Structure 1
């Protein structure tokens, strides 16, 4: 375990935050999970407990290991409880104004030497760092979803990120038994720069009537050997997240090839955000998902 880091603070008890909390505790770090309401924190802790219980059932860990991992995780809706953290990872919604407000609240609480990181999947690390009191100790540590399963973490330095900050982040990721890929600070980094335009193109293929939802997903699963089809994957990521990443690419690179498909915009406007809302390119309200187009 990294000698410098003992306590990891996580901001946001959603899917990503809980996943990062789980793998950090599993690696032996003390974890402090924070969210704005006790209800969200409790829901997050229950999610982690459920995930670990499934690991016990499938034989991936013993019940004693599950208890030991859970014992390392505390949850709270008081931001001051993050004060002891050596590294704080912000895993809030993919909205720059929300993240900036969080940094304004958390920075005064943190130790001067504490590292602040963001799990953003697309936003400028340099710009986010400028909203903190520690740009030298700020960087992107982008985990993939679902965190306990996915082996990759993208590390992204801002223009001010110090070498020591980067080295500590690299050691931390290695201690979680995940693989680092280093990306430069350009919109959407590596994975989403390639993945999201592919998903957007799949939505255009649907929008233009080239194929149905089922035809497109089957074609990419069997024709390109993808584990899940692009529309199924979009629903899993969340269509609102897909749209926000495409908008970041379009705004940041000013290239028409990144224009979000109007059908994606329409689905988001309808509140059909994918799995989390019950409907997206598939309807999840019944026994099995049914294509919506």
Structure 2
């Protein structure tokens, strides 16, 4: 069985690597940043421990999971990968460059998937000579604890690539929900607008963060309101996703509002920093 490649040793990359390794897959995680690679194994170990505490993967042996993941700096270490999932920072230029490099180093049959939050898959596929092997696999955070993945099929995505992606998700116990291509797909085209509007309400004094979230929890049955959801995602990621949506839609309504921008500038990024729209006792270390 060919190994699966992951681009990016951050929180999402490590989370997806954990899902794959727990299912028995061999994984190679590539990141050019030495600090990210150095902290990756510890981040993965923490994820495995957290999953076991929550009753997920109780039958898996932690050391076996960790042993299936290798950490590398160079993208050409993926030349034997049958499937690659890109989790690079949410910047169009960065991801475009990654896809050009993957196309140059991976065999023609390798499926190239992006975990982008909002960049159109067709735009990424245009940076390769294999658009029929490119699709989106939008995992939600935290990847090991969520049941479904938004599968994005671009106009050029072939049937075989889609089949292989669904088989991979089945193997790791995830349900794939297929959607068409477009900025933000379904999830973030809707969610990011909601989060931005909710944050703008704070600035307008309409309600505080707890009240906004309570409306969605008690009136609509959401497990978390939009602002706690944003804190879980990371407010820097929310801001970056909104900027990508402005870039690829031209719609100014996605421009990050002032309260959200201010929190990011202050380093209040949500759960991972200990505070965001809400306060948290313990910061979760993330890249």
Aligned counterpart in structure 2 of residue 96 of structure 1, from 88, 92, 95: 92
Q: Is 1:238 equivalent to 2:234 in the alignment?
A: yes
Q: Is 1:31 equivalent to 2:27 in the alignment?
A: yes
Aligned position for 2:2: 6
The question of whether the paired residues in 2 share the 8 Å contact of 1:120 and 1:140 is answered with yes
- Of 17-26 and 54-63, deviating more is 54-63
TM-score (norm 2): 0.89
- Of 14-23 and 195-204, deviating more is 195-204
SS at match of 2:143: coil
Aligned counterpart in structure 2 of residue 196 of structure 1, from 188, 192, 198: 192
SS at match of 2:231: helix
Aligned position for 1:170: 166
Distance in structure 1 (CA, Å) of the matches to 2:199 and 2:32 = 34
Distance in structure 2 (CA, Å) of the matches to 1:97 and 1:231 = 28
Aligned counterpart in structure 2 of residue 281 of structure 1, from 263, 277, 280: 277
Aligned position for 2:175: 179
SS at match of 2:276: coil
The question of whether the paired residues in 1 share the 8 Å contact of 2:239 and 2:261 is answered with yes
What is the CA distance between 1:267 and its match in structure 2? 2.6
Aligned counterpart in structure 2 of residue 152 of structure 1, from 148, 151, 155: 148
Distance in structure 2 (CA, Å) of the matches to 1:84 and 1:58 = 34
- Please provide the CA RMSD for this pair: 2.3
Distance in structure 2 (CA, Å) of the matches to 1:256 and 1:65 = 49
SS at match of 2:80: coil
- Of 248-257 and 83-92, deviating more is 248-257
The number of equivalent residue pairs is 283
SS at match of 1:201: helix
Aligned counterpart in structure 2 of residue 19 of structure 1, from 4, 15, 25: 15
Stretches of structure 1 that go unaligned for 5 or more consecutive residues are: none
The question of whether the paired residues in 1 share the 8 Å contact of 2:192 and 2:254 is answered with no
What is the CA distance between 1:185 and its match in structure 2? 0.7
Distance in structure 2 (CA, Å) of the matches to 1:112 and 1:37 = 27
Aligned position for 2:218: 222
- Of 60-69 and 212-221, deviating more is 60-69
What is the CA distance between 1:243 and its match in structure 2? 2.1
Aligned counterpart in structure 1 of residue 67 of structure 2, from 30, 47, 71: 71
What is the CA distance between 1:183 and its match in structure 2? 1.1
Aligned position for 1:272: 268
What is the CA distance between 1:272 and its match in structure 2? 3.0
Distance in structure 2 (CA, Å) of the matches to 1:33 and 1:127 = 24
Q: Is 1:84 equivalent to 2:84 in the alignment?
A: no
Shift of the 250–6 alpha-carbon distance from structure 1 to 2, 3 Å rule, reads same
- Computing the radius of gyration from Cα coordinates, the structure with the larger value is 1
SS at match of 1:74: strand
Aligned counterpart in structure 1 of residue 117 of structure 2, from 117, 121, 138: 121
Q: Is 1:112 equivalent to 2:108 in the alignment?
A: yes
SS at match of 1:275: coil
